[in-house]
Chains A and B, each alone.
Chain A
């Protein structure tokens, strides 16, 4: 395994001192695992399970060559939400599932379908992203095989592990938080991101 894993990059000199303490968000739980999508021995898939009743918004690259995952997310966000349905987000690093023709959507369907089955939610409420190498078929069976472990590991406090699992050339996991005080108690916001190269977003 050690021989197969690339040397980790040094942490950027511009990195924050530490990953922030992100609050748990009621209604969401996270898990991450090592599925061996591209490299063995590192976490590379994260799952977020979202309780019924959530509202979801999004923005995506307007690239005319955008990936199957992006197209699938855009289509699903435009759909009517089934009554009482939960939702999920599954993300892998190591392979972008991009520019592989019809195979891209086949992989999206396999992954989101397996998550839907495991969590007993509609596939139309499972959003996926993939990041990593372009032009190689996603070995989606490795992700599908890992879904049981992901489901078993779901926990409200798992957001930092999720942030780490989606890193590629990133040198640190990215997180941010904010809170809004209201008379009925605080509204909490917690976010994670990955990104380090191929960055000039044109989101809409």
Chain B
């Protein structure tokens, strides 16, 4: 379960606060996954006490934009901390998808990778297994073309144009996978839509925790 409570002394109406919160959910709390399971209790409440001086009335104003950016930062920070505490996690993984034909497709691909047990266990095993990423893209249901697909780990491109990049360094890729924080990037080469989501690896510890703790 994810529970989030954010407090601010901003002076803003409930309607405007709700608009700001709603449009920042997609890039924060709805852009994370630990185990692809959704709780029955997930809740976010944002409370603005109105004690700070200037009222935020116009959502197009500079002050409103600055407030929204700050609130968005807090939301994303908390969302990432939830992933960092993913049960049994030893790796924090950012999945960046670009070049999708639509926003929906970009999200499908990103979450197919982020929720893939095979990708997540490869990360746990420090294996730069780009083949599992190919499989996740393929199963996602999004439009994809094998021969346009580009896959990277960190700043290394491991596969493109339907093939393994012939001269990529397996030693360098393996060394990269030892980092605690990893970036998996996929360019679909079809359009301009993009989506970034965050996940963690899947380790033996996840099973230990969920076999022990009966909640």
Residues of A near any B CB (own CB < 8 A): 6, 9, 12-16, 25-28, 38, 48, 50-51, 53-61, 63, 65-67, 69-70, 73, 81, 87, 89, 91, 94, 96, 98-99, 127, 129-134, 159, 162, 166, 168-172, 174-180, 182-204
- Interface locus among B47-55, B129-137, B142-150, B161-169: B47-55
Q: Is the beta-carbon distance between B32 and A134 smaller than 8 angstroms?
A: no
Partner of A199, one of B33, B46, B91, B215: B33
A89-B71 Cα distance, complex, nearest whole Å: 20
A133-B213 Cα distance, complex, nearest whole Å: 9
Partner of B13, one of A14, A55, A129, A204: A55
Q: Is the beta-carbon distance between A66 and B41 smaller than 8 angstroms?
A: yes
Query: Could you pull out 8 A-B pairs where Cβ atoms are within 8 angstroms?
Result: A28-B47, A55-B47, A63-B39, A89-B5, A96-B40, A169-B213, A180-B63, A195-B3
Residues of B near any A CB (own CB < 8 A): 1-10, 12-14, 17-18, 20-22, 25, 29-30, 32-54, 63, 66-67, 70-71, 73-75, 77-79, 81-87, 89-92, 115, 180-181, 200, 206, 209-210, 212-215
Closest-by-CB residue of A relative to B12 is A55
Q: Is the beta-carbon distance between A196 and B82 smaller than 8 angstroms?
A: yes
A78-B196 Cα distance, complex, nearest whole Å: 32
A177-B47 Cα distance, complex, nearest whole Å: 14
Question: Which chain A residues lie closer than 8 Å to B10 at the CB level?
Answer: 180, 187, 189
Known: A89-B5, A196-B34. A182 touches B44 (CB 8 A): no
Closest-by-CB residue of B relative to A20 is B77
Q: Is the beta-carbon distance between A198 and B37 smaller than 8 angstroms?
A: yes
Q: Is the beta-carbon distance between B42 and A191 smaller than 8 angstroms?
A: no
Question: Which chain B residues lie closer than 8 Å to A200 at the CB level?
Answer: 32-38, 115
B90: min CB distance to chain A, Å: 6
Closest-by-CB residue of A relative to B68 is A180
Q: Is the beta-carbon distance between B52 and A182 smaller than 8 angstroms?
A: yes
Q: Is the beta-carbon distance between A69 and B213 smaller than 8 angstroms?
A: no
Closest-by-CB residue of A relative to B78 is A193
Closest-by-CB residue of A relative to B1 is A131
